[in-house]
Structure 1
């Protein structure tokens, strides 16, 4: 009997030993599981932190790129950047050039040199910034963009995105009319502050231009060049000579066609400086008071007939038409201008191939 009890005790001790051993192993396993879970959790947290850091870096880089782009667009027009972005990146170096048809506008302050001499440099800078700020919106609201500021002058392009040539020309005309409205409001503010009023001349032409980059490898600039740019600049200069607020070429009106109702009158048949081919130039009247428009339109037929006679060197007939225009509107400076031109040219020996165009220097 005792040996049975001994065997039972030994078996009991064996079971206790096995149980203790299993408990220890279970605890070691549990610790290892916890350690593994901790390492796994730490690994996931590191990955998550790394992803968050990467996302933060990417977002910061994107924000910086957007900020730089917006800053860059203050110096280079967004439309110019978008136009160049369509080209191969490898081509966007010095000498990149692309041809396009656009409406070109030049806008200049009349008598600016004398005006600037009467104020201090600081006052001049404040005036220009105030003026340019008001001239900016009429251009951008009509889908144009300012290519550059040149002293007191503005050069703007109208390249209606996805639009036709007609739409580009209409945008330019509408912008010119809105510029005159903005100028009237601006002069109202200047009057309230006891400042003198300012006036502007606007020239518009439509035609092909080259948009590209010029300069050197370490300093480049975007620019627009071409005969069309030269013509638009010359037309703006003629606003003073013809006492017209807005002067446009025949190409602009031909491009617009009859779809845009604007009042214009023929000014002259001229050769502008730097160009051999003559162009017809017109005055836009739609922004003027109705009575002033009516007076200018009333003499239109006489002016056109007199100009046709001048082209044919029929001096007496031409002067007669211009005098008839003065009988209708004695204050019309255009009729006086044409009488003076005829009086000069009739005393010159003109070549057989003279085309009747007034040569302007």
Structure 2
């Protein structure tokens, strides 16, 4: 069935409707164009207003900044990125004697503004001026600048810093400077005052030199620490019979086979050798808070009043110094020397003994005698440093040292047995390392000896010797274990 076609009237009506829509769209377009034009005009007006307000704000800020810079009592100068003067405030003009002056080049800045190296007639190098250095991005200070005016020279101190733009480039350099005439005058006055004091002190020092020399001379014979322990500052205050009792550590050091060694030298060579040796040992003692009570031939007796650690550290230091001294001796053809060091800790009586015409400082104690006996034991065991159990007990932390027990001995003059320990921190590196590596085996062997299990103990000492053939103590105990076993069999 055919679809019914619209009538002519219907087509006309549809065309009219479409025409009306087109007209409406044209009106809407015209309205939009008017609105767009109005909006654009308003935007231009708003942009102009904002630009005007921004410029006004900048002008107002610049005015306030200038007012501020003009009000401060310090000189302020600004140069642009090309090095041309841009601004100088009122205080700056008064100091410089002029304001903004065009320059041919920034290198002429010092000459134009009459800037000199303080105290001279030399033009200040422009490249060193803080404001010029600021052009390179540096912040700096200088106080060796003088402004030479017609009738005066004004010392100034200046600070320079760069001002960067939004791209991080230097746009301006600013310098702040001030007159430091009063400060320089004060420094001069202070210098003169110091010179006057120096002259007065020289006179006073001359009057004290003799007394100081005398005190130092006495100090070489009676240690200052000895006087301090007695409660005195000067030897002249000491009286016969003054004494004090205190717990201290005693160190004895002696050269091995010195008699044999001295037989090969003349008396003068002996004297020189002893002084060379003793002068090297003394710093090891004094640097660890000890003092030398006396020299007994080639032997040293030193006292330590603070703690046992000081004495042990001093003994270790003495052995290190001796190693270096022996290296030097060998380079010139002399044989190396060996020393033994014994340390004990206990109660000592310090004081003065003698008569009216002659008195001496002394230390009286069984602890002193024991320290000397322990030093003698170093020869028996072939070790350089032994300490008593009393010293071992008073160490703050024995684990800080390389220590092992050596023996329980009955020394001459003592009814009770004394335990002695070897401190082997100063042994050659490889020997020390081997002793430390074997320490647990060594200690176990010593316990077996206490239990009279000599066969097993001897095996462990033999094990120590396989890794460290230079272990004299282990070798001694291996031999003892053999002897003790034979003795037990004989019984």
TM-score, length of structure 2 as denominator length: 0.53
Match of 1:181 among 306, 316, 320: 320
Q: Map residues 33-48 of structure 1 onto 2, 5 A cutoff.
A: none
CA contact (8 A) 1:298 1:328 kept: no
Structure 1 pair 112–58 and aligned structure 2 pair: CA distance change class (3 A): same
1:127 aligns with 2:242: no
1:151 aligns with 2:297: yes
Q: Give the deviation of 1:294 after TM superposition.
A: 2.3
Give the equivalent residue in structure 2 for 1:84: 230
CA contact (8 A) 2:389 2:419 kept: yes
1:262 aligns with 2:408: no
SS of the residue 2:420 aligns to? strand
Structure number with bigger Rg: 2
Give the equivalent residue in structure 1 for 2:254: 108
Q: Give the deviation of 1:86 after TM superposition.
A: 4.5
Match of 1:227 among 363, 366, 369: 366
Q: Give the deviation of 1:146 after TM superposition.
A: 0.5
- State how far apart, in whole Å, the 1-side matches of 2:468 and 2:324 are: 29
Give the equivalent residue in structure 2 for 1:203: 342
CA RMSD of aligned residues (A): 3.0
Give the equivalent residue in structure 1 for 2:311: 172
Structure 1 pair 60–284 and aligned structure 2 pair: CA distance change class (3 A): same
Q: Give the deviation of 1:340 after TM superposition.
A: 3.5
Q: Give the deviation of 1:212 after TM superposition.
A: 1.1
SS of the residue 1:99 aligns to? strand
SS of the residue 1:287 aligns to? coil
Structure 2 unaligned runs (5+)?
Answer: 1-201
SS of the residue 2:345 aligns to? strand
> Higher relative contact order at CA 8 Å, sep ≥6: structure 1 or structure 2?
1
SS of the residue 1:288 aligns to? coil
Q: Map residues 44-55 of structure 1 onto 2, 5 A cutoff.
A: none
CA contact (8 A) 2:255 2:298 kept: yes
Match of 2:412 among 250, 254, 273: 273
Q: Give the deviation of 1:326 after TM superposition.
A: 3.5
SS of the residue 1:274 aligns to? coil
1:334 aligns with 2:473: yes
CA contact (8 A) 1:169 1:255 kept: yes
TM-score, length of structure 1 as denominator length: 0.71
Structure 1 pair 190–290 and aligned structure 2 pair: CA distance change class (3 A): closer
Q: Give the deviation of 1:320 after TM superposition.
A: 4.2
Q: Give the deviation of 1:283 after TM superposition.
A: 1.2
Q: Give the deviation of 1:229 after TM superposition.
A: 0.9
Q: Give the deviation of 1:65 after TM superposition.
A: 3.0
Give the equivalent residue in structure 1 for 2:241: 95
SS of the residue 2:324 aligns to? helix
* C-alpha distance after superposition, 1:295-330 (max 9, x if no partner): 222333333333333334444444344344334444
Q: Give the deviation of 1:342 after TM superposition.
A: 4.3
1:237 aligns with 2:376: yes
- State how far apart, in whole Å, the 1-side matches of 2:244 and 2:267 are: 38
CA contact (8 A) 1:97 1:212 kept: yes
CA contact (8 A) 2:309 2:396 kept: no
SS of the residue 1:256 aligns to? coil
- State how far apart, in whole Å, the 2-side matches of 1:229 and 1:274 are: 12
Q: Give the deviation of 1:343 after TM superposition.
A: 4.9
CA contact (8 A) 1:265 1:297 kept: no
CA contact (8 A) 2:347 2:367 kept: yes
* C-alpha distance after superposition, 1:41-64 (max 9, x if no partner): xxxxxxxxxxxxxxx999877543
Structure 1 pair 136–322 and aligned structure 2 pair: CA distance change class (3 A): same
SS of the residue 2:221 aligns to? coil
Give the equivalent residue in structure 2 for 1:20: none
- State how far apart, in whole Å, the 2-side matches of 1:275 and 1:333 are: 26
CA contact (8 A) 1:272 1:278 kept: yes
CA contact (8 A) 2:244 2:350 kept: yes
Q: Give the deviation of 1:115 after TM superposition.
A: 0.1
Q: Give the deviation of 1:347 after TM superposition.
A: 7.0
Q: Which moved more, 1:125-134 or 1:339-348?
A: 339-348
* C-alpha distance after superposition, 1:12-35 (max 9, x if no partner): xxxxxxxxxxxxxxxxxxxxxxxx
Structure 1 pair 177–90 and aligned structure 2 pair: CA distance change class (3 A): closer
Q: Give the deviation of 1:345 after TM superposition.
A: 5.4
CA contact (8 A) 2:392 2:398 kept: no
CA contact (8 A) 2:252 2:375 kept: yes
Give the equivalent residue in structure 2 for 1:282: 421
